[in-house]
Structure 1
Amino acid sequence: MDSNPNLNCNFVDLLQSQQDSGIGLESSPIPLFGTQATEDSNCEHDSPVQRKERRAWSQTDDEVLISSWLNTSKDAVVGNEQKSGAFWKRIADYFAASPKLAGLEKREPLHCKNRWHKINDLVCKFCGAYEAAARQKTLGQNENDILKQCLVQFFLSTPK
């Protein structure tokens, strides 16, 4: 039981008064849906973005990237007082300046960063396999035996 029976009428009146006022959107200079394409747009005639062929990372590329990362991250002058983008740009520049990669196309900083993270992930897995093999060391095993066992565990646990 409502204490005010006219309460619902007031809301209906409010809705009707807003509809009657009319804002006049059809005469507005701003389109109702500004992101929609019009009928005469040339979407199908736009030229596709030219993509370059991917260049696989070679073992030499990986070695130069690792060297670049080590030399850049151990730089005592700059240290760790740099943003991620500047850090990876320095690595990409160091990578591109390597005489081992003369004549090859430069790698972007993001490409170097992505490849480094893949390498780092594999190194961490290898370290874990080595620690597991070292814990299972039996009497009479030397470092070569541990390394062989480590490599077996690493290649079994790492998909190609």
Structure 2
Amino acid sequence: MDFNPFTQPSNFVELLSSQQNVIFGNVSDSVSQSSPQVPLTDDSNFCEDSEAVPKERRTWTPSDDVLLISSWLNTSKDPVIGNEQRCNAFWKRIADYFSASRRLAGSEKRKASHCKNRWQKINDQVCKFAGAYEAASRERTSGQNENDVLKVAHEI
């Protein structure tokens, strides 16, 4: 007969109250092979071990963005490797190139997934601006220079 713990209703209050009177001793004495309950011991530091200290987020600076763009360009335009590589390998190479920069000496390395996520945000913004610049260029009147077109594109 298969035992399925989800088919029988369980009462967690009874389980908790039954564990209140546990006397700690030798663990092998208090646990039998057929016992469905596991006694608590003094050595259980479950809460202390399971608390992970969250890492502080590092923000991307404009110089980091320029370096990431340079890493992406150098990696994607590599004539030896080309674009015949899987996504994970491609972004790992970009992260390695990014981390190898002298500008980032002494700082923590960024993961490939972080580089990919940041690149997607940058690429989205660049595509939106390229569309706005194209629209501003079509509306260009005589007497406007490139600075005027850029100003209109930023307003869009």
CA–CA distance in 1 between the matches of 2:60 and 2:150? 26
CA–CA distance in 1 between the matches of 2:5 and 2:123? 47
State the structure with more CA Rg: 1
> What is the SS of the residue equivalent to 1:77?
coil
> Where does structure 1 lack aligned partners over 5 or more consecutive residues?
1-23, 26-30, 154-160
Q: CA deviation at 1:33?
A: 3.7
- Percent of aligned positions with the same letter in both sequences? 59
**Of 67, 91, 95, which aligns to 2:70?**
67
Asked whether 1:32 is paired with 2:27, we answer no
1:74-103 CA-to-partner distances (Å, cap 9, x unmatched) read 001000111000000000000000001111
> What is the SS of the residue equivalent to 1:65?
helix
**Of 137, 144, 147, which aligns to 2:147?**
144
Identify the structure with the greater helix proportion: 1
Q: Which residue identity is paired with 2:113?
A: L
Q: Give TM-score scaled by structure 1 length.
A: 0.70
Give the RMSD, CA atoms, in angstroms. 2.5
Which residue number in structure 1 is paired with residue 79 of structure 2?
Answer: 76
Matches within 5 A, 1:116-135: 116-135=119-138
Which residue number in structure 1 is paired with residue 29 of structure 2?
Answer: none
CA–CA distance in 2 between the matches of 1:120 and 1:71? 16
1:34-54 CA-to-partner distances (Å, cap 9, x unmatched) read 8x9x76487963512332110
Q: Give TM-score scaled by structure 2 length.
A: 0.71
Matches within 5 A, 1:1-160: 24-25=1-2, 31-33=3-5, 40=38, 45=47, 47-153=50-156
1:59-85 CA-to-partner distances (Å, cap 9, x unmatched) read 111011000000000001000111000
Which residue number in structure 2 is paired with residue 7 of structure 1?
Answer: none
